[in-house]
């Protein structure tokens, strides 16, 4: 195998692990850990902003290495391949889910998340807080599905 391809796949996997791990860390570790902390909102806001910055860099790396992996593996980057082969169909689903995750993540990070923090400073009964939770949960689910599809593709598809 080509060393460049192996390095690209390695970076892709590490980036996916960072992205998914960070998304799981927030609701499973951080939020329960700061539940009764007097500066809970500030800690949540600061952590979210830091993860957002690194997270979007990670998503950029995933995008670049994903396309690079396809190219280095010798997969045709054509519409015909993506729509007329089983492997291409599965790859198309992965790409579409990734784009949906980016859109939801963008709305979550740059609108809902910020507005919900502002709203929670005034009242704890925030409708945006629920939207932020659900958009985060949907993105975690999408990331896990995308990772699963990646495993299936790496094993040759269905």
Dihedral (C-alpha) 117, 118, 122, 124: value to the nearest 10 degrees? -20
Q: By mean pLDDT, which of 14-18, 72-76, 124-128 is the weakest?
A: 124-128
Query: Global pTM?
Result: 0.90
Whether residue 123 has pLDDT greater than 80: no
Per-residue pLDDT, averaged over 88-114, amounts to 94
Per-residue pLDDT, averaged over 132-136, amounts to 91
Q: For 5-15, how does the pLDDT look when each residue is reduced to its tens digit (9 = 90+)?
A: 999 999 999 99
Residue ranges of domains in the chain: 3-154
Take residue 101 and report the two structure tokens written for it: 């995750």
What pLDDT does 125 receive? 67
Instruction: Go through the chain and tell me how many residues it has.
Output: 158
Q: For 13-39, how does the pLDDT look when each residue is reduced to its tens digit (9 = 90+)?
A: 999 999 999 999 999 999 999 999 999
**Distance, CA of 19 to CA of 16 (rounded, Å):** 5
What pLDDT does 90 receive? 95
């Amino acid at each position: 195998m080509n060393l460049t391809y192996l390095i690209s796949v390695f970076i892709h996997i590490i980036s996916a692990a960072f992205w998914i791990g960070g998304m799981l860390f927030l609701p499973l570790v951080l939020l329960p850990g700061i539940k009764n902390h007097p500066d809970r909102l500030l800690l949540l806001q600061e952590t979210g902003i830091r993860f957002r910055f690194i997270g979007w860099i990670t998503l950029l790396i995933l995008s670049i290495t994903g396309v690079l992996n396809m190219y280095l593996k010798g997969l045709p980057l054509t519409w015909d391949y993506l729509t007329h082969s089983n492997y291409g169909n599965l790859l198309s689903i992965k790409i579409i889910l990734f784009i949906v995750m980016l859109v939801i993540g963008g709305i979550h990070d740059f609108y809902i998340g910020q507005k919900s923090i502002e709203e929670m400073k005034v009242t704890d009964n925030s409708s945006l807080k629920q939207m932020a939770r659900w958009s985060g949960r949907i993105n975690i689910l999408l990331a896990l599905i995308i990772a699963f599809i990646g495993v299936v593709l790496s094993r040759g598809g269905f």
